[in-house]
Structure 1
Amino acid sequence: MIESDQHHDELSALEREAHAWIRRLTSGEARASDAAALRRWCGQSPAHAAAFSEASRFWKAFGPAGQSLLADSRTTGRRAPAGGRTAITSRRAIIGGALAATAAGIMVVHPPLDLWPSLFELRADYRTGVGEQREVAVVDGVAVQMNTRTSISLGSGAASGTVELIAGEASFKVADRRAETFSVIAAGGRTTSTGAQFDVRVDGASVCVTCLANEAHVEHLAQQVVLKSRQRVTYGDGGFGDVVAIYPSIAAAWQQGLIICNMTPLAEVIGELNRYRSGRIVLLNAEFGRSPVNGRFRIDRPDEALLQIERAFGIRARSLPGGLVLLS
């Protein structure tokens, strides 16, 4: 059947609303109430859920399909559908809508490319948005500085000196006068100290612990590593990595509002900039990604740093809606 213009306009409106949800979730201002409102919006109909699923798929797909996206954006932009939409909701459409609703729910819990906070992050006791840093007092005798996109949960463990770092990065300074141990749980591991300064950073299932002063004990998968001052270790599903020496001025530069690069691969620098800005920077040229970068960038001016990188490497940047930047 041939659909009416009115039905076509309705679907176009849904698509616009779905992309508006994406922009809201990537703004860094989303809260738990937004996640609940999104789930209600997706639950209004199979078309609502499918629209959000399609908008999310677009953001998830632009990385591996970036070259195609560049080519498409140079032409007419939006491809015409292969066939007209049917005005009758078929059994396949209902099943597809149900699957889309499920996918939309999954994307709220596990967002593609970390473009917006997960449901677990939104439910945290303390959370910072994109580019935001803040200091909090979660446990007596422990000073905590939270970096961008960071979520900390207290639960019932705060009374006993234990907090959970759900996502992001935080620096913990445990006072020497504190008699009891303080612990940070992150991705199944635990870092414990009785008077140290250490940073913990969560990147998905991988955790990086950096000891900046005194000594910190890191436990994971029935193994333990003792970190001395100026040492770092990572752990994940495969266990512990090697303990490596670090330069405190570089490792803790974010606490001074800086990103300091010392022969850092460009791909890593781009990944770091993505933490401090809304949207996403995508480097399409793998060869450029291996290029070393030296410099100091202000984390409150990520687009200024991006412009310097474009000029230094002769990279072509193409900006798209929602803060998406393609580098080639």
Structure 2
Amino acid sequence: MTRAEAELQELTPLDREAHAWVRRLTSGEATGADADALREWCRRSPAHASAFSSASRLWRAVEPASKVLDEEANRAARQRSRTMARRAFIGGAIAASAGGVLLVRPPLDLWPSYSELQADFRTGVGERREISVADGVAIEMNARTSLSVTDGVVELISGEASFAASEDRLRDLEVRADSGTTATAHGRFDIRRVGAEVRVTCYANEVRVAHPSRTLMLRAQQQVSYRSGAIDEAVSIDPAIASAWQRGLMVFDMTPLDEVIADLNRYRTGHIVLLDRNLARSPVNGRFRIDRPDDALTQIELAFGIKRRTLPGGLILLG
């Protein structure tokens, strides 16, 4: 029996409830109603909020992971204080608690944030979904993707989606992701938003990517990445690799390991955390089926000589 498993057996009834919430959030099937119910549960007392905060540290038995989590929680607390005015929907008691911080910004993206759970459209683990938000606009959502629509503008909150505007559409299709907005008259493009980075890939015609620092045009088979403070130069890409997810495949061609893990977390329940950050930019090559993500996980273990440790809540530590 692991230390974590032994600790779980010693939990109080309140702690067990908190752990049940963590399991629900990491299942990939949590909903906006779940987020509201958890918010109310945390508001019952400081003990409830504290129990949820403690339950989220499922990997506290592993010292390196605990250190990373503590750093992320502290950073989230600082971010919360800077953006409190924009987080009015959280409410006083929950926003002031550790549980509130973990709902707004989950540690290491272990589960969906409150804004993701409240999105107009969401997909679960390994799920792809086609939707139409307006005439002449087709959208295919990859797994674990959240988006909303306001006044005709689509916002990609997290995940990855493919967008296409038909030739007879009269107005530009606009998609906002973090600090940038991608627009096109009749183009087809993907946007991927994972963590702090957004990646836009153009497949047909042209798309305009407007960022606070500058605006650029992407042509077919070009891609650009940006963050809040900077936008990179456009690069050429292989469209067959970039769009592999639409064919049910993960194709990695010298792809950094941390990006591979981000993909795997989209297609399997629970969450994978890479403890050895020295390996984060190590290249990975391979072709795997989306419905068999653990094949890729096994190859990663063999290729890099690292071991996995599985903790309650579906958390896997690599390193």
Q: Which residue of 2 aligns with 1:235?
A: 226
Report which stretch shifted further, 221-230 or 210-219: 221-230
Q: Which residue of 2 aligns with 1:138?
A: 133
> Percent identity at matched positions?
57
- Equivalent residue of 2:291, what SS? coil
CA 1:186/1:63 → structure 2, altered by over 3 Å: closer, same or farther? farther
CA 1:243/1:308 → structure 2, altered by over 3 Å: closer, same or farther? same
CA 1:222/1:264 → structure 2, altered by over 3 Å: closer, same or farther? closer
How far 1:65 sits from its partner (Å)?
1.6
Does residue 269 of the first structure (1) align with residue 260 of the second (2)?
yes
Please give the root-mean-square deviation of Cα atoms over the aligned residues, in Å.
Answer: 2.5
Q: Which residue of 2 aligns with 1:66?
A: 65
CA 1:187/1:108 → structure 2, altered by over 3 Å: closer, same or farther? same
Asked whether the 8 Å contact 1:128–1:147 carries over to 2, the reply is yes
- Equivalent residue of 1:242, what SS? coil
CA 1:62/1:304 → structure 2, altered by over 3 Å: closer, same or farther? farther
Asked whether the 8 Å contact 2:181–2:209 carries over to 1, the reply is yes
How far 1:291 sits from its partner (Å)?
3.8
CA 1:185/1:13 → structure 2, altered by over 3 Å: closer, same or farther? same
- In structure 1, C-alpha distance between the alignment counterparts of 2:209 and 2:271, rounded to whole Å: 32
Say how many residue pairs are matched: 287
- In structure 2, C-alpha distance between the alignment counterparts of 1:146 and 1:100, rounded to whole Å: 31
Asked whether the 8 Å contact 2:188–2:204 carries over to 1, the reply is yes
CA 1:217/1:111 → structure 2, altered by over 3 Å: closer, same or farther? same
Unaligned 5+ segments in structure 1 are 1-8, 70-97
Q: Counterparts in 2 of 1:195-214, with a 5 A limit?
A: 195-214=186-205
Report which stretch shifted further, 249-258 or 98-107: 98-107
- In structure 2, C-alpha distance between the alignment counterparts of 1:300 and 1:294, rounded to whole Å: 18
Does residue 322 of the first structure (1) align with residue 291 of the second (2)?
no
- In structure 2, C-alpha distance between the alignment counterparts of 1:50 and 1:287, rounded to whole Å: 33
Larger radius of gyration: 1
Q: Counterparts in 2 of 1:290-305, with a 5 A limit?
A: 290-305=281-296
CA 1:130/1:266 → structure 2, altered by over 3 Å: closer, same or farther? same
TM-score by length of 2: 0.82
Asked whether the 8 Å contact 1:132–1:149 carries over to 2, the reply is yes
- Equivalent residue of 2:273, what SS? strand
- In structure 1, C-alpha distance between the alignment counterparts of 2:234 and 2:62, rounded to whole Å: 32
CA 1:150/1:246 → structure 2, altered by over 3 Å: closer, same or farther? same
How far 1:304 sits from its partner (Å)?
2.5
Q: Which residue of 1 aligns with 2:206?
A: 215
CA 1:127/1:39 → structure 2, altered by over 3 Å: closer, same or farther? same
Report which stretch shifted further, 300-309 or 45-54: 300-309
- Equivalent residue of 1:293, what SS? strand
Asked whether the 8 Å contact 1:145–1:172 carries over to 2, the reply is yes
Higher relative contact order (CA 8 A, sep 6+): 2
- In structure 2, C-alpha distance between the alignment counterparts of 1:297 and 1:312, rounded to whole Å: 15
Asked whether the 8 Å contact 2:209–2:215 carries over to 1, the reply is yes
Cα deviation code 1:145-196 (max 9, x no counterpart): 00111111112x12xxx21111111100111222321111111321110111
- In structure 1, C-alpha distance between the alignment counterparts of 2:146 and 2:228, rounded to whole Å: 21
- In structure 1, C-alpha distance between the alignment counterparts of 2:25 and 2:167, rounded to whole Å: 40
Q: Which residue of 2 aligns with 1:51?
A: 51
Q: Which residue of 2 aligns with 1:15?
A: 15
- In structure 1, C-alpha distance between the alignment counterparts of 2:162 and 2:174, rounded to whole Å: 12
Q: Counterparts in 2 of 1:305-320, with a 5 A limit?
A: 305-320=296-311
- Equivalent residue of 2:272, what SS? strand
How far 1:283 sits from its partner (Å)?
2.5
Q: Which residue of 1 aligns with 2:103?
A: 108
Amino acid aligned to 2:120? D
How far 1:67 sits from its partner (Å)?
8.8
Q: Which residue of 1 aligns with 2:71?
A: none
Q: Which residue of 2 aligns with 1:76?
A: none
CA 1:32/1:151 → structure 2, altered by over 3 Å: closer, same or farther? same
Q: Which residue of 1 aligns with 2:40?
A: 40
Work out which of the residue numbers 124, 146, 153 in structure 2 matches 1:151.
146
Asked whether the 8 Å contact 1:53–1:100 carries over to 2, the reply is no
Asked whether the 8 Å contact 2:310–2:317 carries over to 1, the reply is yes
- In structure 2, C-alpha distance between the alignment counterparts of 1:176 and 1:62, rounded to whole Å: 56
